[in-house]
Structure 1
Amino acid sequence: MSVIANIQQLIVLVLGAIAVGVELYALVHAATQRADAFVAAGKLTKPVWLGILAVGLLLGIASFGGLGLLGLLGVVAAGVYLADVKPAIAQVLGRSNDNRWGR
């Protein structure tokens, strides 16, 4: 049983590291975008998104290795930003990446 427990701990640790990496990427991306692009895309303002993503990253770091409910909230915040806000900002700024997917 000890080997299985060690493998499970390793999997949770790797998933936690990936989650924190995604949260950090979303925060850095949001920080490097123009503030007016958020408003032009019809999304929350840049400071609000930076706050949401920073809190999400802190929650992810706090629950690192456990990936509990707090860590899940951070991943959800980063996922919403990456799936909804990032493409909208790219479209407003004229940097749509649709061509790489054959569309």
Structure 2
Amino acid sequence: MLVQGFYNFLGWISLALLVFALFALVDAAIRRDDAYRAASKNTKAFWLIVLALAAALIAFLPITSFLPVIGLIAVIVYTVDVRPALKQISGPRRRGGSSSDGPYGPFNR
């Protein structure tokens, strides 16, 4: 019974890691291509391939194997190094906006 509980726990961990990898993949896909060059990171295509392979390794191999750990490291590198640099280059995303916002910022008379 204890072993079954451990495997259930590993299943939930594996699912969480897969969601994390898919989040990173989607985030990399929606970023602009020129932001990667401006941030002096590898190209967008490179990160899409690396993160897609990482998601596939996490999805199809058991988490106790070595290859999903390498995929997880790639996802962590993207999340803590590349993503903040891209966000800094692109600027903060604002959803919606105020009725007094003009094309270059707030417009107040």
Same fold (TM over 0.5): yes
Query: Which amino acid is the alignment partner of residue 91 of structure 1?
Result: Q
Between structures 1 and 2, the one with greater helix share: 1
CA RMSD of aligned residues (A): 1.1
Residues 38-92 of structure 1: per-residue CA shift (max 9 Å, x gap): 11011000000001101111111111xx202111111111110000000000000
Share of identical aligned residues, percent? 33
TM-score by length of 2: 0.81
Q: Which has the higher contact order (CA 8 A, sep 6+)?
A: 1
- Which residue does 1:40 correspond to in 2? 38
Aligned positions, number: 92
Looking at structure 2, the residues matched to 71 and 21 of structure 1 have their Cα atoms a distance apart, in angstroms, of 13
Match of 2:16 among 15, 18, 22: 18
For structure 1, the residue ranges without an aligned partner over 5 or more in a row are 97-103
Partners of 2:36 and 2:92 lie apart in 1 by 14
Shift of 1:95: 1.8
Bigger Rg, which one: 2
* Gapped regions of structure 2 (runs ≥ 5): 94-109
